[in-house]
Structure 1
Amino acid sequence: MSLASKTKEIVKHFEFKFSKSLGQNFLIDQNILNKIVDAAELDENSTAIEIGPGIGVLTQEMARRCKKVVAIEIDDTLIPILNETLANFENIKIVHNDALKVDFNRLIEEEGLENIKLVANLPYYVTTPILTKVLMEKLPLKSIIVMIQKEVADRIVAKPGSKEYGSLSILVQYYCDVQKVCRVSKNCFVPPPKVESSVIKMNLRPPKYNVEDEDLFFNVVRHAFNMRRKTLWNALKPIGLREEDLKEVFKLSGIDETRRGETLSIEEFAKLSNTIYTKLKK
């Protein structure tokens, strides 16, 4: 039986109703499923955290390849379905919770997870908050492999000067080396979403940039992109410096105050934030 037939049969058997508010779209394409699991490079020494397992299709594939899978599901109505579809796997732990409220460091410690990959078909509405949470909390992840809205994937891999480039691009590229795995048609889901999707892989690594204060760095980035049409001079006025000090910051960093945030590389943002850091310390 094909993945599409299996999925539709399970949905019908349990009389499951898809929730628009939770962004539920189940993958029914075996080829895409294989590409996601292959990209995760799971083996008997690795563990996986999955957010939004749905009816457990991806969960099962990962459990066949790795030591343990911890699947986090927010939807009450999916828990009994998962308990049945995953009943034959002893290496799967189902966590009934909102991923945005999960203490991942505590979960990782309690479950004894090592060599961890985060793998998920993320609901579109929660993509940016989830990625922000797991990256800013500095979880001990080897990689993140997620299927997300194509436009968000484009923003993540975007380069300076492009219209897609923004604070999300900088956040992810600061912590990760990023690559697109594949594009996914809306016809690969039930029900079909209104937009195309992409699978993207992020390999975590120590930051390559010399940043004195990461909180300040990301604060500068946020201000620079809050109003994209503003020059850096106007965007960074609320940062907490007197005008004469801000003018000196631009002079010392060698960055033109009339530029806009989307033109700056991560290295230039690092230089700018470090200069502000030095000025604020005085």
Structure 2
Amino acid sequence: MHKDIATPNRTKEILKKYGFSFKKSLGQNFLIDPNILRKITDAANLTQESGAIEIGPGIGALTEQLARACKKVVAFEIDQRLLPILNETLAPYSNVDIIHSDVLKANVKEIIHERMAGIEDIMVVANLPYYVTTPIIMKLLTDNLPIRGLVVMLQKEVADRMTARPGTKDYGSLSIAVQYYTDVEIVMNVPKTVFVPQPNVDSAVIRLTRRSTPRAVVKDESFFFQVTKASFAQRRKTIFNNLSSQLPSGKEKKEAILAALEQANIDPKRRGETLTIEEFARLSDQLYPYFQ
């Protein structure tokens, strides 16, 4: 068994050896607590037949735990300076592929197809860079990938928004987008002290399990998301006012919006944050014909 990469001393040694300095622009915060890394890995319920996709492996601390737990790890790293470090730290593990690429620009589906042929159970497991957490998660959910789900570390406030229920202050279009595709739960909260450098915010690990079918059936998904976004544009406004001011030519279509709200059995005076996903689905289906 090799010495864990993630101990504070070993991390310091590696960074010093390569003269590595953290780039704020890449949101680099490395975990230095092997126990937390093992808990993240455990939360993904991997077996020796599973595959793991990692984003932002850093110096390989989580990658190493994943490599021990599953059959194949494919990790996307955007920072060229980390490639030689990963080459060294992960040398003991032959089941890891590092891809030098921005995951937001990568064809992840194709890469899974090429690098994980024959693997049926695939999870995304990552300590995500905070500045780009939401776009990455949305891309992975909407790209129709053959994955069981995601276990990711992110800002605690973003985790709270993703898991929020209707009628709470954290509930918004992000809660709906994530819960439309997945069942989501917070696995644990993580203090700042287990990172180097320490971030300014607290973190949480969440598990998103893909649903076999979305939580609601809608005529047009992109229009459904357009309606939910519009409904939260200004939180103090009623759903009717938000839709009228935010939907394309909504001001001219106020009558139609009122009619759609009535058909969907939703009081126009309600606020967006009180509507469930099912109510948004009904509403967007009623609005759809008027906005084509």
| TM bucket normalised to smaller | over 0.9
Question: Is residue 181–residue 214 contact of structure 2 (8 Å, CA) maintained in 1?
Answer: yes
Alignment partner for residue 243 of structure 2, among 223, 236, 247?
236
Corresponding residue of 2:284: 273
Give the equivalent residue in structure 2 for 1:55. Answer: 59
Q: What is the aligned-residue RMSD (CA, Å)?
A: 1.4
C-alpha displacement at 1:5, in angstroms? Answer: 1.4
Partner of 1:222: 229
Give the structure 2 partner of residue 203 of structure 1: 209
Residue 168 in structure 1 maps to residue 179 in structure 2: no
Where 2:148 maps in the other structure, the secondary structure is strand
| Structure-1 residue corresponding to 2:274 | 263
- CA positional deviation for 1:280: 4.6
Distance 2:258 2:38 in 1: 53
Aligned to 1:17: 21
**2:99 corresponds to:** 95
How big is each residue's C-alpha offset from its partner over 1:235-274, in whole Å with a ceiling of 9 and x where there is no partner? 1124345222111111111101111111111111011011
* C-alpha distance after superposition, 1:86-107 (max 9, x if no partner): 1121111000011111111111
C-alpha separation in 2, matches of 1:184 and 1:244: 49
Q: CA deviation at 1:279?
A: 4.4
5 Å-filtered alignment, 1:127-166, equals: 127-166=133-172
Amino acid at match of 2:282: K
TM-score by length of 2: 0.93
Say if 2:153 and 2:205, in contact at 8 Å, map to a contact too: yes
**Structure 1: unaligned runs, 5 residues or longer:** none
SS at match of 1:230: coil
Q: What residue in structure 2 maps to residue 191 of structure 1?
A: 197
Amino acid at match of 1:233: F
Stretches of structure 2 that go unaligned for 5 or more consecutive residues are: none
Does 138-147 or 48-57 show the bigger shift? 138-147
Return the letter of the residue paired with 1:82.
L
Residue 160 of structure 1: how far off its partner (Å): 0.8
Match of 2:188 in 1: 182
Q: Partner letter of residue 99 of structure 2?
A: V
CA distance in 2, matches of 1:101, 1:228: 32
